[in-house]
Amino acid sequence: MASRVPLLLIFANLQGALCWGELGHATIAYVAQNFVSTSTAAWAQDLLDDTSTSYLASIASWADSYRETTAGAFSAPFHYIDAEDDPPSDCNVDYDRDCTDAGCSISAIANYTTRVSDTSLGTEQQAEALKFLVHFLGDITQPLHDEAYEVGGNDIDVTYQGYSDNLHSDWDTYMPESYAGDYSLTNAKAWAKTLTTAINSGSYKSLAASWIKGADITDPITSAMTWAVDANALVCTVVMPDGAAALSDADDLYPTYYDSVIPTIELQLAKAGYRLANWLDAIYTDTVAKRGLEGTEGEGSAVVKREAAAPQSWALPASKPLTRAQMARAESGYKCNHSKRGGHSHSH
């Protein structure tokens, strides 16, 4: 087993909250950039005050950093919906059961879909809503972000490429980096180009329409639940088809397990990017463009400055006592526990 280096452990603790990993989130954002309309792109660039070729990719992990701040601590629960099912025999998501009154990925997507085009909030808050959407539409496609079992896999101890870590961190970061290289916008852009080609003319071409079927910004909870159910099903069929013990007992998840799941990781990143593009196009077309606002405030309009609010009551299930799994998630600080890995990167 590889030894640990103190400085690397310090670095890892700083990285402990990153989910889908920066590489995954940036890749998703670049895929979305490749599919949004020209008008949507201009609107997003205006909101973000960024006309670069990485206008979405550069902010794709902002929500992970924001949650670590005092101001952003309220958003920590929004990165997940913890399905209290029974993998690998039964995978399912129930919004009323699995989302708490602190919020979850479903309620957050609903809330920020509304806020991103609400000019009464001002450009700064609309931009924050956009940043949240870019991130949460990525998180919701990571199967273990839709699973409560062992705190979304954070408490499933495994060995990967000789290092002791946990299953969640391998899915979020280490397996994607094994495939596409360590995080950089260059690597993310290259991976997104490959996925975009697969969507346009390759193995995903016949599948892409099904990824956005039924997506409706006027019913964001139902839409987001469709995506969560889709990803959660993979916990039973791909992530741990033989149960968690089989993974913990394995000498090393590399290469056999890695080879079996990396096609699904690629598929999920492609889905997320394509869905994000479609969602942003719908927001622009059905709200912004129709109002003739294009993300700007009307002259003389009264702008109400508010903080990035938690989901409103309409976007939350009824309040109820927390289950043991929900208490465990809260006690964990809603983090993706990457610190066990020691900050090591891995080769292909």
DSSP one-letter code for 308: -
Report whether pLDDT(297) > 70. Answer: no
Identify any residues that bridge with 100 across adjacent strands, giving them in sequence order. 103
Catalytic residues: 20, 25, 64, 67, 79, 135, 139, 145, 168, 172
Domain boundaries, the chain: 6-341
What is the number of other CB atoms lying within 10 angstroms of the CB of residue 84?
A: 16
Residue 301's pLDDT is 30
Confidence of residue 329 (pLDDT cuts 50, 70, 90): confident
Average pLDDT, the chain: 88
Report whether pLDDT(59) > 80. Answer: yes
Residue 15's pLDDT is 39
Confidence of residue 1 (pLDDT cuts 50, 70, 90): very low
Residue 332's pLDDT is 77
Lookup result for tokens 């990925």: 105
Residue 20's pLDDT is 75
The two beta strands, 163-166 and 157-160, are antiparallel
Residue 317's pLDDT is 73
**Strand positions, DSSP E, the chain:** 157-160, 163-166
Residue 105's pLDDT is 97
Give the tens place of pLDDT for each residue, 108-126.
999 999 999 999 999 999 9
**Strand positions, DSSP E, 219-326:** none
Single pTM value for the model: 0.88
Confidence of residue 312 (pLDDT cuts 50, 70, 90): low
Give the tens place of pLDDT for each residue, 19-43.
679 999 999 999 999 999 999 999 9
- Percent residues over pLDDT 70 in the chain: 84
Question: Average pLDDT of 213-224?
Answer: 98
Residue 34's pLDDT is 98
Q: Please list, residue by residue across 184-199, b when 16 or more beta carbons sit within 10 angstroms of its beta carbon and e when fewer do.
A: ebebbbebbeebbebb
Give the tens place of pLDDT for each residue, 177-216.
999 999 999 999 999 999 999 999 999 999 999 999 999 9
Lookup result for tokens 């995903």: 204
Give the tens place of pLDDT for each residue, 84-98.
999 999 999 999 999
CATH topology of domain 6-341: P1 Nuclease (1.10.575)
When comparing pLDDT for 20 and 67, which is higher?
Answer: 67
Confidence of residue 320 (pLDDT cuts 50, 70, 90): confident
Give the separation between CA 257 and CA 74, rounded to whole angstroms: 36
Quick one: which H or E segment has residue 37? none
Report whether pLDDT(223) > 60. Answer: yes
DSSP one-letter code for 158: E
Question: Average pLDDT of 241-266?
Answer: 98
Report whether pLDDT(218) > 70. Answer: yes
Report whether pLDDT(8) > 70. Answer: no
Confidence of residue 310 (pLDDT cuts 50, 70, 90): low
Least confident of 214-223, 296-305, 334-343: 296-305
